[in-house]
Amino acid sequence: MSVRVSGLSVLPPVRRDRIIVQLPKYFRREAAVHTKDEFNNKVKTACQEQRTGTVGFKISKVIVVGDLAVGKTCLINRFCKDAFDKNYKATIGVDFEMERFEVLGVPFSLQLWDTAGQERFKCIASTYYRGAQVVIIAFDVNDVTSLGHVRQWLEDALRENDPTAVQLFLVGTKKDLSSPAQYSQIERDALELAQEISAEYWAVSSLTGENVNEFFFRVASIAFETNVLAELEKSGTRQIGEVVRISSTSNSLNATSKKKGPNCCQ
């Protein structure tokens, strides 16, 4: 279902290859946001009963941060455009792409913000961090220094957001350039770091496309589930509030009636 104004669709239709019916599997169990094999039962029921509130009209903001040349732009372009451009050009400030999904029959949108990794553009990029629901921190699996800078990127991103309301992903890029032995070593360090910062770990290759679609489907699914659960909690809070308010009013009226009763008889 899409929003319509004057007979025109505001949002584009969902592509057939962006339909999600099952929760995509994590990359490494020891560093996963959660290890369930299926969507939360409350979420599945809400989708079946069409009780997802405004989730279908919301746009979930995702920011991708990390050092210069770790492959943030290539990662986004591989997923959104199924393309890889070897003629790298540094991102100036920020850029973004919009991706539409259908999760458990409900439309859901991700806004993927590609931020600059150069120090001179950092202040510009950081102004766009605010309001993120997902933070993706990218590093090059062939460059241990970029992994060492992850904590600083995380600190910068969380400075503009509520740490308890953000889903974190740590993504190693350029996996195709790494030998098995080299990758094995940096993966151990990355898994340990991911556990420390409560992030989900993935390793991808934008050149070959390895794990790219699976990763973004996982991001979309977890963001969707988080939004639906928040909507259900908000809806439940409203219902409880209404009951309390009505009950309090009824009690006040009863008390007033009892108090006025004898006075009237007198």
pLDDT tens, residue by residue, 22-60: 999 999 999 998 899 999 999 999 999 999 999 999 899
What would the pLDDT profile of 195-225 be if each residue is shown by its tens digit? 999 999 999 999 999 999 999 999 999 999 9
Structure token digits, residue 14? 């969902």
Listed in order, strand segments (DSSP E) in the chain are 4-5, 8-9, 19-20, 59-66, 94-103, 106-115, 134-140, 167-173, 200-203
Structure token digits, residue 248? 């309090």
Rounded to an integer, the average pLDDT of 151-174 is 95
Model confidence at 120: pLDDT above 60:
no
Token pair 């040349």 in the structure block, residue: 69
What would the pLDDT profile of 243-258 be if each residue is shown by its tens digit? 333 334 444 434 444 4
What would the pLDDT profile of 74-110 be if each residue is shown by its tens digit? 999 999 999 987 766 656 557 889 999 999 999 999 9
This prediction has a pTM of: 0.83
Q: Rounded CA gap, 165 and 226, in Å?
A: 9
Structural domains of the chain, ranges and CATH numbers in brackets: 15-235 (3.40.50.300)
Q: Residue 136's closest CA among 94, 161, 170?
A: 170
- In angstroms, the Cα distances linking 65 to 29, 44, 73, 151 are 23, 32, 10, 11
Residues 154 and 197: beta-carbon distance below 8 Å: yes
**Mean pLDDT, the chain, integer:** 84
Structure token digits, residue 53? 């509130």
Structure token digits, residue 205? 């290759």
Residue 66 β-bridge partners: 138
Strands 167-173 vs 200-203: parallel, antiparallel or unpaired: parallel
The reported pLDDT for the residue numbered 3 is 39
Q: How confident is the model at residue 266 (pLDDT cuts 50, 70, 90)?
A: very low
Q: Which helix (H) or strand (E) element contains residue 197?
A: helix 180-197
